[in-house]
Structure 1
């Protein structure tokens, strides 16, 4: 059976790629690793778009399904006053996100968790995610619905996806659950969607 990025304990051969990447005025140094999204020598285009579009709703952020840490670590670098928690079900992802946080001297919290099952706090001002489309509609529906319950009033869920490769479905689910959804930015078929908890 082939493994996916949301595999809890990857058994694939461990291969690393090391690179530096700049967004806005910040340059960070990363190791990406096989079995963890996104195994590459650059930050993937969808994550780049989300990082550039993000603006805080409050004081703390959850990077849900953090992979090797690109989104959460760039948010911490760009908004140093934010309290940032990175989580992933993939144990290798957490290991490398922690390594990358140390490499860049960024103080963040990391936790291995299946969605919200093991998180140390109940609510956040912002939840950001480049969700695992390949995991299927059921998991991504749960991600969106559970995120609503873990946002403070006025908080926002930010998702990024290729609109014609599952993103439009995510957008519809966000609209149904939150009663609102905004296309924050569009680029090359990728869109950043934002829904806010208004109550």
Structure 2
């Protein structure tokens, strides 16, 4: 059981009604709160929750439309996403209770200060390195549409300017990260055909690929519903079309690909987690055609080259700089 869920269950009598659990982990919490409903935007967690609890877990960037008596927000890593969740739920909870639970290392104490705008918050519990806060919503805000929170910026690329649109919670929200910037400089010479942008985020790499290789059949894949929505917005803003899907890692990707391009993730919430990236490197060969290419950017300190060579074939360092490396390998 996730420690945040354990803290909630220490006060289980508060959550026996129609409670919405926003950003809940994929544990047994829904099983112990029979009237509760989940709202999830992580495809892996949603897959696990749906397998056990069916339609009791809602997936997407918008809260479910069903009425609820109270809501719990599991504090996300992103402050912008936390602000969106607080607004989206508090706007529907006038006179009702809103709860915030999170890890101390995740900034729960600072985030709880935002509850003052809604009413008089109080700390209900502190255990398992987590805290649980509650506020009765006395001043319900006006709901703000998610699209209005999108950040838009322009990239000056070699083949012309590109518009990027990102939503709260998406990796490198509102700016171009150094690893992706390096990767954008080294997208030449890729095989045509079926191409995957793995961990697409706001769609920067995917949009660049589609513009550079317009005849390619491009798929953008991310585990996060907000990232997928951002990628669709970026593609539309640049007049491009591609398939955007959500799924839990490389297992959700199409087969028979000609190329996989990625700035792979290595964080889950506030925790470092290399599982998605390492699974990509171990299983890329299963998703590539013979002669298909894997091209990724990664921090220089990560020992990805031996892992790529073990599972795919000879791996070359195509470029490096700013603490990052571009790795390239082909399936033999």
Unaligned runs of 5+ in 1: none
**Structure index of larger Rg:** 2
Conserved 8 A contact 1:58-1:155:
no
Paired residues for 1:1-199 under 5 Å: 7-8=42-43, 12-14=82-84, 15-41=149-175, 43-54=176-187, 55-119=189-253, 121-135=254-268, 136-164=273-301, 166=302, 169-198=303-332
When residues 138 and 96 of structure 1 are mapped into structure 2, their CA distance, relative to the original with a 3 A threshold, is: closer
Conserved 8 A contact 1:26-1:77:
no
Following TM superposition, where does structure 1 have runs of at least 4 consecutive aligned residues deviating by more than 4 angstroms?
Answer: 6-11
> So what's the TM-score if we normalise by structure 1?
0.86
Q: Distance in 2 between matches of 1:13 and 1:64?
A: 27
Q: Distance in 1 between matches of 2:275 and 2:229?
A: 27
Q: Distance in 2 between matches of 1:104 and 1:179?
A: 36
> So what's the TM-score if we normalise by structure 2?
0.53
Conserved 8 A contact 1:161-1:192:
yes
**Higher relative contact order, chain-length normalized (CA < 8 Å, sep 6+):** 1
Q: Distance in 2 between matches of 1:137 and 1:100?
A: 27
Q: Distance in 1 between matches of 2:251 and 2:310?
A: 23
Q: For residue 12 of structure 1, give the secondary structure of its aligned residue in structure 2.
A: helix
TM-fit CA distance, 1:18: 1.2
TM-fit CA distance, 1:73: 0.5
Q: Distance in 1 between matches of 2:322 and 2:184?
A: 16
RMSD: 2.1
Conserved 8 A contact 2:178-2:322:
no
TM-fit CA distance, 1:25: 1.6
